[in-house]
Amino acid sequence: MQDGTGPVTNLERLSESTSPADPVLLGDAGAVKALAAGRIGDPFALLGPHPSAHGTVVRAYLPPAEAVAAIDRSGVVLATLQPLPTPGLFAGIIPTGSAYRLRIHWPGGRLQETEDPYSFGLLLGELDIYLLAEGSHLELGHCLGAQPRSIEGIAGVRFAVWAPNAQRVSVVGDFNVWDGRRHPMRKRVEAGVWELFIPRLPAGTLYKYEILGPHGLLPLKADPVALQVEPPPSTASVVPDATPFRWSDANWLEARSANNALLHSPLSIYEVHAASWRRVDAQGGRSLNWDELGDQLIAHVIGLGFTHIELLPVMGHPFSGSWGYQVLSQYAPQATFGEPSAFARFVDRCHAAGVGVILDWVPGHFPTDAHGLAWFDGTALYEHTDPREGFHQEWNTAIYNLGRREVHAFLVSSALHWIERYHVDGLRVDAVASMLYRDYARREGEWIPNKYGGRENIEAIEFLRHLNDAVAQRFPGVLMIAEESTAWPGVTRSSQDWGLGFSYKWNMGWMHDTLRYMKLDPVHRSYDHHDMTFGLLYAFSERFVLPLSHDEVVHGKGSLIGRMSGDTWQRFANLRAYFAFMWTQPGKKLLFMGGEFGQDWEWNHDGQLDWLALEHPLHRGVQQLVGDLNRLYREQPALHVFDCDSAGFRWIIADDNSNSIYAYYRQGHADSAPVIAICNFTPVPRLHYRLGAPRAGVWREILNTDSEIYGGSNLGNGGRLESSTTPSHGQPFSLELTLPPLATVLLRHGG
């Protein structure tokens, strides 16, 4: 018999003459039956090469192949594999020690040549298996998932997935017509991990896992450690391109590692929902991709003077209405905006422009979509079994079981993955309060106390400490920011001092108090004067970021400008005065997109920012002010050096509630000029207002939110003031100044 590739060998004739009933070819009957039924737990015991008295028996299960031959690397037929009684199962004998490939004839005349996945030995190394079994592997992005690589000189993809309670796991995709019988995986029992090398799969191949759980077949599952995913609403994982990204930010990373998490540097963050920042109206309102955002968003941020962009979660998520906070792919960027290399290119461009990148990251909960992590191997693997611990009632999501070592490591490894693979400069950890308290959003009887009978989640505390320590050790200078809305002590203290180890914490109390005040009619503000001063009672108990975040412009709360009181002019004046108050208060700064120009309406994740508003001078004035505030914040050491230290702040006037006036000075190092901020939160100009000053001499008016360039009435102090020796407000000198209506004025000592 000839097939056009070479002469028939003696062993081929032996194979052809061997009865299909010969046990040498058939293998174990129970294993064959389990294979055909899709229940085989150890496919390598049956498939692939096996020594025999006549040579090496090769078995391949390839339904619906019509014929299969084993060939050597030059294409010479070593054996024609015989069809066995089980449809799709072929077997034959080749010379002992021969390297072989399979030549497969598929229906329709398609011919395929490939190495046999079952001819390869163990894939994961002993150290990987040890760390996986221990639950301490922190480089899962290199270990699990679909990893393109060459083994024995053969290019292909190594798949590995943790599913300890599964009876069988298979890789499925277009390459095997999604038939879970075709590529069952080998179980590394000691770690509960399944592995398989599939030769010749190209980048871009779609795949999932078919899992037979303890109680039956599960819906097809996406890869928990997928490095690339399909755009929603599709849900498959994608074999990534193995080509290394060529970074150009070595100098940026070196400077970052020496910057001590920006403690004494300006940190001004522009918070962005990438999908709705700007859309392409001419193309159905689609979102910008990463390259387009690189062209437009970076220029916008540079023009406004922000130091960092913070992106709402860009990890793969199936539902856009979650804004990214219901993450299912903790290792892959959302495909809506382009391939992973495009996201890396965006970060690289940010760094080239001097802009840092912070990602929102969600380790507290995950959605229960059937293709995701929920009951991944037929058991509560990533989540708690008991809904009193494992189900988040507010968000209808599952809660990670942080007490399980493997889950703990899965999440810490994810955080490290984004910093290592994509060079991001920080992670803002979402919903930390929901992780810290076992009774969060639960009534009595709906939660389980910890082992000491308390409400604190001990496993979450250990996780957060380990997370922050691991980041600090491996990537010094990377920011870790907590969204923590309670008075939990020591969020930004080191773990060695029994803290949680974060770099910064969002000051949610400051945000809520001050926005409540700004919403009041000025006539009533005197009764709530403390709303603007209360935050200073605890301002230095943690290292804080002052956030005006996305949460404050959704769910019927309206826009920032919409929450200011008064007529149109007064609302804009209020917002300008408030922004200057915020930028001169202790703490780093964060502003959600749209706030920088006073967008009129509430944020809509399905729309885009109201860019047309910038045709109006009052909106342009707000944007001009934000840019100037960021410039002053960077240029004036007094406004940032001691953002987190009480040495940098002193009240001058905190009790003038009848006039709704506040005044304070900011101080940097001794060789830098102090800055005084004076806020008038009434529409009444205050003429000849005497203000205490800590130093004698000239004080320059470096910013006035009532300036006409911002849309104000242009009432001010002519650019400079001279102090008098008259003491006031506990200060040895004083200034007599004009306070514009609904305005903040900044004065700097000296020329």
C-beta neighbour count of 474 within 10 angstroms: 12
Binning the chain into helix, strand and coil, the percentages to the nearest 5 are: 30, 25, 45
Give the β-pairing of 743-749 and 675-680: antiparallel
Output the pLDDT for position 751: 67
Both tokens assigned to 241? 């391109």
Answer yes or no: are the C-beta atoms of 24 and 57 closer than 8 Å: yes
What DSSP string runs through 71-136?
E-TTS-EEEEEEEPSSTTEEEEEE-TT---EEEEE-GGG-EEEEE-GGG----S-HHHHHHHHHT-
Both tokens assigned to 691? 């203000």
- Collect all residues with Cβ–Cβ distance below 8 Å to 403 and sequence separation of at least 6: 459
| Residue ranges for the chain with pLDDT beneath 50 | 1-18, 20
Residues with catalytic function: 430, 483
What type of residue sits at position 39? R
Both tokens assigned to 236? 């498959």
According to the CATH classification, is domain 646-749 in 2.60.40.1180? Answer: yes
Answer yes or no: are the C-beta atoms of 476 and 443 closer than 8 Å: no
Using CA atoms, how far apart are residues 567 and 741, in angstroms rounded to an integer? Answer: 14
Both tokens assigned to 532? 């603007």
Of 52, 143, 127, nearest in space to 91 by CA: 52
Output the pLDDT for position 11: 39
What type of residue sits at position 736? E
- Collect all residues with Cβ–Cβ distance below 8 Å to 720 and sequence separation of at least 6: 698, 699, 700, 701
| Topology at the third CATH level for domain 126-238 | Immunoglobulin-like (2.60.40)
What residues form DSSP beta bridges with 689? 737
Output the pLDDT for position 13: 41
Q: How many CA atoms lie within 13 A of 670 on its CB side?
A: 0
CATH of domain 10-116: 2.60.40
Answer yes or no: are the C-beta atoms of 170 and 185 closer than 8 Å: yes
pTM of model > 0.85 = yes
CATH superfamily of 250-267+307-506: Glycosidases (3.20.20.80)
Output the pLDDT for position 54: 86
Decide whether 126-238 matches 646-749 in CATH topology.
yes
Could you state, in order of their start, the residue ranges of all structural domains in the chain? 10-116, 126-238, 250-267+307-506, 646-749
